[in-house]
Chain A
Amino acid sequence: MELSRRTLIAGGFAAMLGGTVVGCSSSMDAGTTKKNATGNIALWCWPGGLGKSVLDDTIAHFPDQHIKYSEVGGDFKQKLLTTFNGGTSIPDITGVKGEDIASMLPQANRFVDLKTIGADSILGDYLDWKVKQATTLDGKVLGIPIDIGPTALFYREDVFTAGGLPGDPAKVAEQLKTWDDFLAAGVELKKSNPKAFIVADAADLYGTIVNQGTARYIDKDNKFIGDQDHIRKAWDTAVKAITLKVDGKTLGGSPDWNAGLDNGTVPTVTGAAWVALDIKAACKTSVGKWRVAPTPSGPANFGGSFLTITKSAADPAAAFEVIKYMLSADNEAKAFADAQIFPATPAAYDKPQLKAADPFFGGQVPIEVFGPAAKNIPIAYEAPLDSAVATPFTDELKLVQAGKKSSDAAWSSAVQKAKQIGKRQGVQ
């Protein structure tokens, strides 16, 4: 009895030790691309990344591929990287978020170049600028767009009209053509309603204006261009909002922001189509009082993701068929109906799911604003290090906002910090 119990315990430890050794050895062949077993397709995405009915339909449509969908919560990119490094259980198809795609481009050898398996035939169906985000400098296409995030100006019709501004979306579009018009309207609005700040957060406004541009912080030759006019102009506009005192300093998503949306102290939100979900969640009494107008100074994009095929895929061609089906214009329209996943295929904008009038926006049809915006989003090269270099600018702007620094002092310190971050990574 006693002996057998000991053997059992010892056996257990031996098994554990064995497991550890195996675990170590499998992580050691990182970098090799072991092919997955054929006959199955493992698909990874994050919660809410794909429409539920589209997903169920796709799985049913390819019974021979045995699609196994895994919803990966938490830090998706990190889990994907870890799995890549581990070298086993790499999915055949995986989602890649819009904000992560730039940092994935240098890792192009981990993904299948979709152009080699017939992507050319469908790339024309998707918005050109969005496909470019997933294209490497030497022309490899790594992903097919799931969705995009075109921006618009969401505003409170009741607050605007009470403050002497136009309420009708067409008239708002006409009067608020540029950010200067927008800030001037803010001054007007504040005269009659001192609690209403037309800019929710000047630091957010700055990010939007940068996204509206055709150049960002680093150019294709890996040179730092964040100290040039296109960035400075965005900076100056944000600072202007602060000096004109039309900046509400209300961080998006904070409790103040949420409460402000409903009671009119945050009367506008400049944001991507999916921001509508946040606004709807925050508003109880102002339902039907919101409207959508084009973004002043033109549209921008926030977010929007891709489906990619990894080098581990057993049958990339079969995986591509799945992606092709899942992200067709019809299915992207369905995904919009499922979970407000905004289509990256212009053909979807004419489908009934998107043509619906929205009672939250007083019966307005939002696609009439978002559709044209989606097609006109400027193309800007986004370097893998872009977001890291952008950080000091927003941080320093917040100091101007808090009245702790002058605009010029903050600007030069932002440029200096950004250059230093870039230098560490070999940016000139």
Chain B
Amino acid sequence: MTLTATAPTRPARTAKPQRRRGVLSYWRFYLALSPFYLLFVVFGLYPVASTILLAFQKWDGLGPRKMVGLQNFGFLIQDSTFWLSLWNTVVLFVMSTAPTLVIAMTLAVMLHSAVRFKGIYRIAYFIPNITSLVAAAIFFAAVFSTNFGLINAGLRSLGLPTEDWLRQPWGIKIAISTMIVWQWAGYNTIIYLAGLQAIPTEQYEAAKVDGAGPFRTFFSITLPQLRPVVLFTVIMSTIGGLQTFTEPQVMVGNNGGTGQSGMTVVMYFYNQAFFNNDYGYAGAIALSIFMLVLLFTAINWKLLGGRGRQ
């Protein structure tokens, strides 16, 4: 409404030379954008800055803060639990992201070809993503439980030996990554599907004329055309995957279960801050997660983005 009302005055203004308008003359636009930035400053930037500062302090959550320099990082380097949690995080990330993206791509290609009830499939695949994480984790813990779990019941009916899934270091990782795959495959499917629909059909027709089979078409047309979309999903999965928290916390408890093999860096950070009241140390761990995400994103960018932008 405002737009249509101001429209008549527009031509007169834009006709004037560009330099007459300083940054300030855009104030309306900045004003319109400001809600995001104001909220971001309060709820995003301030906590981030405060966490960075906290990493160099000792604070129990209530008393005075004390500057301790690099002491927290000194402890961090020697802390075997921290390195273990870092290892767990990376392993869980690989174990969950790779299958998620492969499954998502497969589903997307299948959905893209003529299928009936496309809408229903799309909804069905997307629903896990909007399911409550805690509810899903409780469900998965039940599925993987030793005596009465669905997985072990299946193994038993096939005459295979059962496994104490949530009591074995690798079992814990498998259970957690299975849940992440279940939750995120559908989300990525929808993104890939959108990407697929943007590929011009002429390219496929040309490929058909040249006699390319379905696999050749997929690897020579679909995948290269989807490169930016794949990059996006990989980066989003990296950012999400390296911050895994709820799944292991609900499934195997705050300490990450047997051998702490479900202990992720974010969980370790949470334990240090909110159970051990060691907020400074937690701040140092949080910074390390930040660096890790940055590092992985840069690697992904180089690997996947590089050739696409030439």
Chain A positions within 8 Å of B, measured between CB atoms, are: 2, 5, 9-10, 13, 16-17, 20, 23-24, 31, 75, 77-78, 81, 84-85, 103, 106-107, 110, 249-251, 254-256, 259-260, 265, 384-385, 387-388, 391-392, 394-395, 398-399, 401-402, 404, 417, 420-421, 424-425
CB neighbours (8 Å) of A420 from chain B are: 75, 78-80
A13 to B169, CA, bound (A): 53
Shortest C-beta distance, A158 to chain B (Å), equals 20
Kindly report which residue of chain A lies nearest to residue B27, judged by CB atoms.
A10
Shortest C-beta distance, B26 to chain A (Å), equals 15
CB neighbours (8 Å) of A260 from chain B are: 147
Cβ A13 vs Cβ B62 within 8 A: no
Q: A256-B148, A259-B148, A388-B276 are in contact. Are A10 and B31 (CB under 8 A)?
A: yes
Shortest C-beta distance, B42 to chain A (Å), equals 6
6 pairs of residues in contact across A and B, judged by CB atoms under 8 Å: A13-B38, A20-B38, A250-B146, A387-B275, A398-B167, A424-B281
Shortest C-beta distance, B156 to chain A (Å), equals 15
Cβ A402 vs Cβ B81 within 8 A: no
CB neighbours (8 Å) of A31 from chain B are: 64
Partner of A9 from B31, B61, B145, B278 at Cβ < 8 Å: B31
Cβ A391 vs Cβ B169 within 8 A: no
Cβ A110 vs Cβ B62 within 8 A: yes
Partner of A404 from B5, B34, B169 at Cβ < 8 Å: B169
Q: Does B63 belong to the interface (CB within 8 Å)?
A: yes
Q: Does B228 belong to the interface (CB within 8 Å)?
A: no
Cβ A395 vs Cβ B255 within 8 A: yes
Q: Does B154 belong to the interface (CB within 8 Å)?
A: no
Q: Does B240 belong to the interface (CB within 8 Å)?
A: no
Kindly report which residue of chain B lies nearest to residue A107, judged by CB atoms.
B62
A23 to B31, CA, bound (A): 21
Cβ B142 vs Cβ A398 within 8 A: no
Cβ B34 vs Cβ A13 within 8 A: yes
Kindly report which residue of chain A lies nearest to residue B75, judged by CB atoms.
A424
Cβ A424 vs Cβ B64 within 8 A: no
Cβ A417 vs Cβ B62 within 8 A: no
CB neighbours (8 Å) of A388 from chain B are: 275-276, 278
Partner of A425 from B147, B166, B278 at Cβ < 8 Å: B278
Contact with A along B137-174 (1 / 0, CB 8 A): 00001100111110000000000000010111100000
A75 to B249, CA, bound (A): 14
Going nearest first, the 7 A-B pairs with the smallest beta carbon separation are A388-B276, A398-B258, A255-B142, A255-B145, A107-B62, A402-B258, A256-B147
Q: Does B260 belong to the interface (CB within 8 Å)?
A: yes
Q: Does B214 belong to the interface (CB within 8 Å)?
A: no
CB neighbours (8 Å) of A84 from chain B are: 62
A398 to B253, CA, bound (A): 13
A395 to B142, CA, bound (A): 22
CB neighbours (8 Å) of A395 from chain B are: 255-256, 259-260
Cβ A254 vs Cβ B145 within 8 A: yes
A417 to B61, CA, bound (A): 23
CB neighbours (8 Å) of A5 from chain B are: 2
Kindly report which residue of chain B lies nearest to residue A30, judged by CB atoms.
B62
Q: Does B246 belong to the interface (CB within 8 Å)?
A: no
Kindly report which residue of chain A lies nearest to residue B252, judged by CB atoms.
A251
| Tally of contacts, chain A with chain B, CB under 8 A | 100
Cβ A255 vs Cβ B148 within 8 A: yes
Contact with A along B77-110 (1 / 0, CB 8 A): 0111100000000000000000000000000000
Interface centre among A17, A24, A387, A425 (most CB of B within 10 A): A425
A425 to B275, CA, bound (A): 14
CB neighbours (8 Å) of B38 from chain A are: 13, 16-17, 20
Cβ A103 vs Cβ B277 within 8 A: yes
Q: A2-B2, A402-B168 are in contact. Are A85 and B62 (CB under 8 A)?
A: yes
A105 to B258, CA, bound (A): 32
Cβ A417 vs Cβ B258 within 8 A: no
A5 to B2, CA, bound (A): 9
Cβ A259 vs Cβ B275 within 8 A: no
Shortest C-beta distance, B86 to chain A (Å), equals 16
Cβ A13 vs Cβ B276 within 8 A: no
Cβ A256 vs Cβ B146 within 8 A: yes
Cβ A106 vs Cβ B60 within 8 A: yes
A259 to B147, CA, bound (A): 9
Q: A103-B277, A259-B148, A260-B147 are in contact. Are A417 and B80 (CB under 8 A)?
A: yes
Given A255-B141, A259-B148, 14 further pairs, Cβ under 8 A: A2-B2, A5-B2, A16-B35, A23-B42, A85-B61, A255-B145, A388-B278, A392-B81, A395-B259, A398-B257, A402-B164, A402-B167, A420-B79, A421-B276
CB neighbours (8 Å) of B218 from chain A are: none
Kindly report which residue of chain B lies nearest to residue A203, judged by CB atoms.
B258
Shortest C-beta distance, B142 to chain A (Å), equals 5
Q: Does B274 belong to the interface (CB within 8 Å)?
A: yes
Partner of A2 from B5, B255, B257, B281 at Cβ < 8 Å: B5
Partner of B63 from A75, A107, A421 at Cβ < 8 Å: A107
Shortest C-beta distance, A239 to chain B (Å), equals 15
CB neighbours (8 Å) of B256 from chain A are: 395
A5 to B32, CA, bound (A): 13
CB neighbours (8 Å) of A77 from chain B are: 274
Interface centre among A81, A394, A402 (most CB of B within 10 A): A402
Shortest C-beta distance, B136 to chain A (Å), equals 15
Q: Which B residues between 241 and 264 are near A, CB-CB below 8 angstroms?
A: 253, 255-260
A38 to B64, CA, bound (A): 28
A110 to B61, CA, bound (A): 12
A388 to B60, CA, bound (A): 13
Shortest C-beta distance, A232 to chain B (Å), equals 21
Cβ B61 vs Cβ A249 within 8 A: no
Shortest C-beta distance, B123 to chain A (Å), equals 29
Cβ A256 vs Cβ B145 within 8 A: yes
Partner of B169 from A251, A402, A421 at Cβ < 8 Å: A402
Shortest C-beta distance, A402 to chain B (Å), equals 5
Q: A17-B38, A110-B62, A256-B145 are in contact. Are A394 and B255 (CB under 8 A)?
A: yes
Kindly report which residue of chain A lies nearest to residue B76, judged by CB atoms.
A424
A368 to B275, CA, bound (A): 35
Interface centre among A2, A81, A255 (most CB of B within 10 A): A255
Shortest C-beta distance, B49 to chain A (Å), equals 13
